[in-house]
């Protein structure tokens, strides 16, 4: 079993609200970590992990929530494609961090954990 499969199995043991909370936490971390240019690799890993969290969760949510999660996954993937360019420009990097914080709040609100 590879590391990704182990992470998936561990992640799926949590309830849906807890999984959404984990996604929200990742997005909040991204929002904070973009402030330091030395965190590039960490943010890349969090982006990738967040996309997997969405993949592993979206199918278990209501249609509207699934659509929002899929849209978020697409937005993360689009940003990931241009991330090296975004990361080099401080304003772009910080703007991305602000978007990540907004996404985090939205996901956390939809989780029911608040």
The position carrying tokens 């899929």 is 70
Query: pLDDT tens-digit profile of 59-107?
Result: 999 999 999 999 999 999 999 998 889 899 999 999 999 999 999 999 9
The DSSP 8-state label assigned to residue 89 in this structure reads: S
Read off φ and ψ for residue 35, nearest 5 degrees: -65, -25
**CB atoms near residue 108 (< 10 Å):** 19
H-state helical runs in 1-114: 3-12, 16-33, 40-57, 63-81, 83-88, 90-111
pTM for the whole structure: 0.92
Q: What percent of the chain has pLDDT over 90?
A: 87
């Amino acid at each position: 079993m590879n590391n990704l499969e182990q992470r998936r199995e561990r992640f799926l043991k949590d309830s849906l609200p807890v999984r959404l909370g984990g996604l929200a936490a990742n997005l909040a971390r991204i929002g904070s970590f973009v402030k330091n240019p030395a965190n590039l690799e960490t943010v890349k890993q969090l982006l990738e992990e967040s996309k997997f969290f969405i993949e592993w969760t979206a199918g278990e949510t209501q249609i509207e929530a699934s659509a929002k999660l899929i849209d978020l996954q697409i937005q993360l993937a689009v940003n990931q494609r241009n991330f090296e360019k975004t990361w080099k420009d401080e304003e772009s990097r910080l703007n991305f961090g602000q978007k990540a914080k907004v996404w985090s709040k939205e996901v956390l609100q939809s989780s029911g954990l608040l």
